[in-house]
Amino acid sequence: VELHRAAERRALASEARAREAEARMAAFLGNLPDALFVLRVGAQGPLRVEAVNPSFERIFGVPAARVVEGPAEALLPAALAGPVVARWRQVATTGTMAEEEMTAELAAGPRVLQTVLVPIRGPDGQVERLLGSVRDITATRRLQQGLVQSARLATVGTICAGLAHEASQPLNTASLWLRRLRAAAEDVPDALHAPCLLYTS
């Protein structure tokens, strides 16, 4: 009887630890800023949505209830769904991780999204799920574009400054000689100023 109770206590403790671990994982996924989704790979190749995290709902503006257990195409705007899901199917077939960047028109406006898709294999070695993450990198891309534009403007400014410097050298020299000639001409008496005569034959 005592052995049975001890085994029962161990089972209850193990179950409590499993629940705690599950709660910690749920809290981690719930607070992760990246959107996460899990796709189930069917025997004939179709991809079904198994789960999404709260950040997915926030970024894409769709509730989980609307996409879970639906086709993978339900995760994306219609304009992107076809080609993107085709690439996801390729990941399920090849079993290799894929990363891509896409621009999507969402409720919050046009967004630049970075997607990583990782195949998860079952005990038989076949890909049975795809774990995807989506990060909104719109602000990062805008910052990079601003830095590139600033660098271009700085380059143009440097070139213009160089051209202005090169052009000013001969002009400064000519101006100096003109000032010297004017000063020298002021010292010549008026009697020595000969009229300019134009001879014609």
The percent of residues above 70 in pLDDT, for the chain, comes to 77
Residue 190 is inside which H or E element, if any? none
User: pTM here?
Assistant: 0.57
Which tens digits make up the pLDDT trace of 71-108?
988 888 888 888 888 888 889 889 899 998 888 787 77
Task: State whether residue 123 is helix, strand or coil.
Answer: coil
Indicate if the pLDDT at residue 199 is higher than 60. Answer: no
3-state secondary structure 43-111: CCCCEEEEEECHHHHHHHCCCHHHHCCCEHHHHCCHHHHHHHHHHHHHHHHHCCCEEEEEEEEECCEEE
The mean pLDDT of 15-20, rounded to a whole number, is 77
More confident residue, 149 or 11: 11
Burial class of residue 115 in the structure, from the number of CB atoms within 10 Å of its CB (0-12 exposed, 13-18 middle, 19+ buried) = buried
